[in-house]
Chains A and B, each alone.
Chain A
Amino acid sequence: MTPLALRVFTATSCLGRGNAASLASLLAQRAGLKRCDFETVELPMYIGEVPGVDAVRLPAALAEFDCRNNRLAWLALQEDGLREALEAAAARLGPRLGVFLGTSTAGILETELAYRARAADGALPAEFRYRGAHNSFSVAAFLRAALQLTGPAAVISSACSSSAKVFASAQRAITAGLIDAALVGGVDSLCLTTLYGFHALQLVAPGPCRPFDVARDGISIGEAAAFALLEPADDSLAADGVLLLGTGESSDAHHMSAPHPEGAGAQLAMRRALEAAQCAAGEIDYLNFHGTGTPSNDSAEARAVAAVLGPVPGSSTKGATGHALGAAGALEAVICALALRAGLRPAGVNTRALDPQLPVTYLLENRPGRLRRVLSNSFGFGGSNCSLLFGRAG
């Protein structure tokens, strides 16, 4: 495939607002997880909450989109020159600037709270807004309205692969000539559905998650907003510019919430990303594992990685960020971009004793060094898999 440049990118998660704070946390091997104190939730778990989301006030003209998810999107939009870059791109490209965003739960928290506030006849409060908060498209509708974007748009909601798959869809739309550039990204925010839902599935760790640890016992749920402006690469790209070189997607065709034990779909996604980038497995300098921290997910991914990539050094940054679900793909894409630019293989934070049964090279300490090609894995419920391959321009 034709390489695309990540002209501007930014991430906001429990590691910090924007790239400088996120990179500083990665360099310090700092985790952003804390004991769950979200809303009225009383569950024995840790969460990766972005501080300050509740305090965000959207402009009055955007009031119909007010919800935690869109406040988080708004917070992230102000960082790293993203907003200015999008306004400039919109002025230049008009309807040839597309929007492809991933989310799993959008503003469902608003609906959960509205259900608690139902009237005696069961009706939702009058101020409940379906289109601006509940509907999966709400985050794209919000950013289109906020930035007055007029081009094609879609939300991809394929659980935890959502905001990895947006890179593939945007890349295809640019290749087909439908658009010239795209805002891609993911926004997912804490809500009761995911906190209680993963708890019901017995997939949540009581302490901070420890991907690939011998005693790993589940995920920690996080939240994040991460974005990139994708455009065809040209000569103006600096040596430390970051390129999307390959995408690979597949389905497990196995089970709704359990991975294929050998990671068959995961292998297919990684192979397709390598093929698309015309890159050999040995050329991958760092792998950002999906690495959720559940016993079965990490085991299936380890087997798939061993089969396709061999002993490539890698880590799951979910030990630091928690699992940002529908925003995880974009968050980890930006972490890969930061890693490429800074020459850093980030450590897997929180993991103490590696599971000797897992045949992978898992980094427990940061490993600096020049990186040219990195791969990021994202796998979701419904057996939805996506691998993204990024590289440095020079």
Chain B
Amino acid sequence: MSTSLQAFVQGVGLLGPGLADWPSAAAVLRGERAWTPAPTRIPAPESLPPAERRRTGTIVKLALRVGLEACARAEVDPARLPSVFTSSGGDGENCHEICSALATSARALSPTRFHNSVHNAAAGYWGIATGARAAANALCAYDASFAAGLLEALVQLHTERTAVLLVAYDAAYPPPLRAARPIPDAFGVALVLAPDPGPHPQAQLRASLGAAPPTPLEGPLEDLRSAIPAARALPLLAALGGAGDTRAVLEYLPPLQLETEVRPWR
């Protein structure tokens, strides 16, 4: 039970409601800046060719944005990294459009909507945008999706001694699905995890399975953590941002939880 997995965190990317990038989110998590909730704003993915860019929805733009931010901060070439993409819900807007079309008598589906419906759409567009031919994974573990993705990335780093990009993302479902899965807005986070410190090491990360209850956050950020599956990463991000507490337990598959500890690296 006590197998411990380790990595250096070389770069972080983040985008969420009122959180524009990793440095501003870290300032909020440290309590240096107040959090002003505002709808998540996702820039257009400049890295994709225009034809592909037109085909992408919220979820793909979100994943590409945070993935590229993490790689830029780590100063690593995204094309070199194997990747682990993890999302609880995938593209809810696209799913809604497909199910709506299938409920009509014509049942006419758009081919683009169909190929975008795969859970690994973000991983596929990431490959097209960056040229990465390394292995890319696409995971789902409902509310445990972040922790499952982090475990997958750490295991891959451990067994293959390679840096790995982890990208976790979820976006709002439109009605009527929203009533069944009330995810309020988009949140994405990416980590470049590596066996070595790299040029801009953030911290050393250690993770193991345990049974301690998940670490809550204080104030309104706790609502964000518990509302969006990808935001279950926030207690770890607070530790990475230097919020004081270096230990964070992440929600996994109760009673099994993911216990993490970060050590600043200088």
Q: Which of A219-227, A246-254, A311-319, A328-336 contacts B (4 or more CB under 8 A)?
A: A246-254
Inside 8 A of B156's CB, which chain A residues have their CB? 172
Whether B138 is near chain A, meaning CB under 8 Å from some CB there, is yes
CB distance from B126 to the nearest CB of A (A): 8
Give the secondary structure class of A's interface: mixed
A136 at the interface (CB under 8 A from B): yes
Chain A CB within 10 Å — which of B102, B108, B110 has the most? B102
Q: Are the CB atoms of B142 and A141 closer together than 8 Å?
A: yes
**B 114-142 binary contact with A (CB < 8 Å = 1; else 0):** 11111111011101101111111111111
B142 A131 Cβ-Cβ under 8 A: yes
Taking A124-B177, A177-B3 as contacts, is the C-beta distance between A111 and B120 under 8 angstroms? no
Q: Is the CB of B102 within 8 A of A115?
A: yes
Which residues of the partner chain B approach A168 to less than 8 Å between Cβ atoms?
135
Is B50 close to A, CB under 8 A?
Answer: no
A130 to chain B, nearest CB (A): 4
Task: State whether A384 and B123 are in contact (beta carbons under 8 Å apart), knowing that A141-B142, A176-B155 are contacts in the complex.
Answer: yes
Instruction: Find out whether the CB atom of B109 lies under 8 angstroms from the CB atom of A159.
Output: no
Closest to A43 in B: B107
B229 to chain A, nearest CB (A): 10
Chain B residues lying within 8 Å of A128, measured Cβ to Cβ, are 180
Stretch at the interface among B26-34, B88-96, B186-194, B232-240: B88-96
Number of interface residues of A (CB under 8 A): 69
Q: Is the CB of A173 within 8 A of B155?
A: yes
B82 to chain A, nearest CB (A): 8
**Can you list, as one digit per residue, whether each of B81-113 has a CB less than 8 Å from chain A (1) or not (0)?**
000000011100001001110110001111101
The residue that B256 contacts in the complex, of A112, A130, A151, A192, with Cβ under 8 A, is A151
A193 touches B127 (CB 8 A): no
Near B by CB (< 8 A), chain A positions 161-215 give 165, 168-169, 172-173, 175-178, 192-193, 196-202
Q: Is the CB–CB distance between B142 and A172 below 8 Å?
A: no
Q: Cβ of B212 < 8 Å from any Cβ of A?
A: no
B217 within 8 A of A: no
Asked if A116 is at the interface of the complex by the 8 Å CB criterion, the answer is yes
Contact B142 A135 (CB under 8 A): yes
A264 at interface by CB-CB < 8 Å: yes
How far is the CB of A138 from the nearest CB of chain B, in Å? 8
* A21-29, A354-362, A375-383: which lies at the interface: A375-383
B131 close to A380 (CB less than 8 A)? no
Instruction: With both chains docked as a complex, state the minimum distance between the C-beta of B179 and any C-beta of chain A, in angstroms.
Output: 6
Nearest A residue to B2, CB-CB:
A177
Q: How far is the CA of A327 from the CA of B151 in the complex (A)?
A: 23
Asked if A309 CB lies within 8 Å of chain B CBs, one says: no
Q: How many angstroms from the CA of A141 to the CA of B177 in the assembled complex?
A: 20
For A140, the chain B residues whose CB sits under 8 A away are 141
B176 interfacial by beta-carbon distance below 8 Å: yes
Q: Measuring CB to CB, which residues of chain B are less than 8 angstroms from any residue of chain A?
A: 1, 3, 5, 52, 55, 79, 88-90, 95, 98-100, 102-103, 107-111, 113-121, 123-125, 127-128, 130-142, 144-145, 148, 151-152, 154-156, 158-160, 175-177, 179-181, 209, 252-253, 255-256
Contacts beyond the supplied A112-B103, A136-B119, A157-B120: 7 A-B pairs with Cβ under 8 Å: A95-B256, A115-B103, A141-B142, A196-B107, A253-B130, A257-B115, A382-B123
User: Which residues of A come within 8 Å of B, CB atoms?
Assistant: 95-96, 104, 108, 111-112, 114-116, 118, 122-124, 128-131, 134-137, 140-141, 144, 150-159, 165, 168-169, 172-173, 175-178, 192-193, 196-202, 249-257, 264-265, 268, 380-384
